[in-house]
Structure 1
């Protein structure tokens, strides 16, 4: 039997990757029969699964972007064809529910009906001969007629009938983790919905260990801990980890009763990590700083006098003083992306996942998603988003590492720019091409050599374009005035 997933019509490019990640986590074989970014209704099947109903429940339980999953009892382009398919597809199941309490309802996407039309549609299924009581609350069987309208179309172009198998916990989970109720947040705290989706893509689960090297106020560790993973993190700015007045990262874990899963946070940057070189992490989840408000920096200095140990007047080492502030130097955004991948290669277990957000200075041209019969096209990103924005040129190419396989790329669009969530899987050493690895390391050495002295704008083209409003580089910045013409 096929099953229909009722998605939310939001973050469309995230929905399939999240569902596939949950199937991978549960070991469930999954096949897409129909999916479109333009519709909240998707059809899947579970091939070679002895208990597809249990697989369906497992799949939907922790989904953030899907609300429920249904047995597909019929589909059609209009009501006559829908009724014909219902008779052919689901007639053997009618006796199983004929004596039980039941309920019918209609779910119309981009469409509506009058009360009399609503009643007529439901009564058109009277041939199923259900004789049990109609119960609007907690019935034994709940049936839904799904209508998929094109915008402003008078009639639906696709119809389905489904029997509810299981509902997800999306609403309760988002209500629990909303930033409006969180004890400790900052201006850069990740939206709770996308943080939870990221945790799903990272396959966070009990018995797994997840790390965020740009933790901030802990949005990603909190999301991973919600799904049972042990978590810890670090940040170059210790103030974000420590907080003040009893409001800090740890207080958030106390609020959500996940303190036992929080292993702690510390101050560090990725290029000077105190973590020992060991492949022990199951997941790395991060949203690296884009360097817009402040230029990207790491520990260190280009000044020779600050590269050696500094002594105070009393002979003590400066870095041992409580008030010591280490020097920082400008940092290339491209090098940071490469450092994240390099760190993931050395820290992730085989099959471990790295989920990393990165900006794009202008959404790429949208691609046409496939309809019936398979996945949408994902290459190049920017597909199907409905959150605004349209552009032509990507600011950064998707970073690549020979030891990491790109699993998915999801795009969130804003007004004049967008950002991507990239998910990688650590390959087994036996699957890594040695020649490709040597070429990669050589290119990496060149990039490190180019990361010399420079301003924040010199080392971060995204920052430059952000302050220019993503206009042509020859145009003046938004806050600059054109020179007077005399």
Structure 2
């Protein structure tokens, strides 16, 4: 027997709703019966679940769920709603005799005045509810919600304008409220002990953790960890995490004291705790951060494959910080001959305080390399979750780098107008670990190629980006 349910989502990140819902359902073995055609722009979705427990699990973990109802009736008018509610009498009759309850009337995109709320409640008098009203801790909460169309910014609606002209009305028993949304405030970057100008906003990092199927006992890695936003949220759900970055200052915090040896800092009474670990301690997840590494991800030290359950990252794409890799921009030859004994003029790269030079790491190359790295490091069934910025006018599905050992799970757009960023989720298929490059050898040039230059030029060439000749000229 299935349970008809209504999910109300938060009115943000429309394209992220279904991927997150499906991910958490997969993580918990929940069978979802979702209609084939779903309007993702509407915050209401009717599905069938197997039990109330399934609804509570989804509401407790999905960041975008506001509440879940056991749906007793719905329609484009109250006449239709009441007809369906009467047909579903077996669902609610068992509560009508001696159950404490409260009745709420709400609306999406509208505010219903109290007199009409009371009149709406009175239309349900045929249910003959005999239990005691308890507004503080009722056994059952009845919820009636009217859905009004979004008029956008073109029209300012008066407080009660259009009341009753709703798109759909829903009624049922409240099964669970979306408690996971409280984590958005907990991980608010502004209240964090350590953060930087590229720190991921809390809601997005929580969504990424859910897409990565973060759970107790799982091992998750961020190869562009920065200030650690993804590590905290994955650890919040019980995963063991580690991260790396080519610039260690991002992980530990900037300051000249870091040029000193660890023992020297301790003797001087200086703080030796990396910035990421300070924030991890603030959230109570420091014990789940296994380690932090400094290296070029294209020359990584991971010699064994099939290590991680998930790789989750927000690669730098040049707007606030650019990606780097080891090497000299001018392609100068490095003298790698060992110095003679006692030679004080040893080559710079052999000195103890040597900092290797770096050069820009083009985004389209980075994306291809990231997929290839994931094929090597992920266990079969493991997930790669990453953001990919793109020019909206020029984007094509083939822009996503593919690999024969990786399956695309979801591709959700966060739209900023001329450009957007896509949360891409891939799953590693069964097969041997490999370091072969991703299959992206066609003549197609993705819309995120040279993204930094396009961003700072105001996307003036957006209309011509699909033309390979134009792209070749820009290269």
Q: TM-score range by the shorter chain?
A: 0.7 to 0.9
Q: Structure 1 pair 216/142, CA: closer, same or farther in 2 (3 Å)?
A: same
Q: Structure 1 stretch 148-157 or stretch 207-216: which is displaced more?
A: 148-157
Deviation for aligned residue 1:112: 2.5
1:137 equivalent in alignment to 2:136 = yes
1:35 equivalent in alignment to 2:35 = no
Match of 1:100 in 2: 99
Cα separation, 2, equivalents of 1:13 and 1:234: 29
Cα separation, 1, equivalents of 2:417 and 2:388: 16
Match of 2:253 in 1: 243
Task: Map 1:222-261 to 2 at 5 A.
Answer: 222-244=232-254, 248-261=275-288
Match of 2:461 in 1: 472
1:64 equivalent in alignment to 2:63 = yes
Deviation for aligned residue 1:473: 7.5
CA RMSD of aligned residues (A): 2.8
Q: TM-score, normalised by structure 2?
A: 0.84
1:15 equivalent in alignment to 2:34 = no
Task: Write out per-residue CA displacement over residues 42-79 of structure 1, whole angstroms, 9 at most, x where no aligned residue.
Answer: 11113xx4xx1111112221110102211111111100
Deviation for aligned residue 1:232: 0.4
Cα separation, 1, equivalents of 2:430 and 2:135: 53
User: Contact 1:352 / 1:425 at 8 angstroms: preserved in 2?
Assistant: yes
Q: Structure 1 stretch 37-46 or stretch 344-353: which is displaced more?
A: 37-46
Task: Map 1:26-425 to 2 at 5 A.
Answer: 26-33=28-35, 35-46=38-49, 49=50, 52-151=51-150, 154=163, 155-244=165-254, 248-293=275-320, 295-301=322-328, 303-306=331-334, 308=336, 313-314=343-344, 318-361=348-391, 363=392, 392-394=393-395, 397-425=399-427
Cα separation, 1, equivalents of 2:367 and 2:440: 16
Deviation for aligned residue 1:314: 1.8
Match of 1:388 in 2: none
Deviation for aligned residue 1:116: 1.0
User: Contact 2:71 / 2:172 at 8 angstroms: preserved in 1?
Assistant: yes
User: Contact 1:358 / 1:421 at 8 angstroms: preserved in 2?
Assistant: yes
Deviation for aligned residue 1:464: 1.4
Structure 1 residues not aligned, in runs of 5+: 364-391, 451-458, 476-486
Deviation for aligned residue 1:310: 7.0
Cα separation, 1, equivalents of 2:457 and 2:47: 45
Task: Write out per-residue CA displacement over residues 411-437 of structure 1, whole angstroms, 9 at most, x where no aligned residue.
Answer: 11124311010000000129x9x9xx9
Cα separation, 2, equivalents of 1:462 and 1:306: 30
Greater RCO (CA < 8 Å, at least 6 residues apart): 1
Q: Structure 1 pair 416/401, CA: closer, same or farther in 2 (3 Å)?
A: same
Q: Structure 1 pair 294/7, CA: closer, same or farther in 2 (3 Å)?
A: closer
Match of 2:257 in 1: none
Cα separation, 2, equivalents of 1:30 and 1:64: 17
Q: How many residues align?
A: 427
Q: Structure 1 pair 293/19, CA: closer, same or farther in 2 (3 Å)?
A: closer
Cα separation, 2, equivalents of 1:53 and 1:442: 45
Q: Structure 1 pair 212/343, CA: closer, same or farther in 2 (3 Å)?
A: same
Deviation for aligned residue 1:460: 5.0
Match of 1:25 in 2: 27
Task: Find the residue that maps to 2:193 and give its secondary structure.
Answer: coil
Cα separation, 1, equivalents of 2:283 and 2:16: 25
Deviation for aligned residue 1:257: 0.6
Deviation for aligned residue 1:211: 0.3
Structure 2 residues not aligned, in runs of 5+: 152-161, 255-270, 465-475
Cα separation, 2, equivalents of 1:470 and 1:233: 33
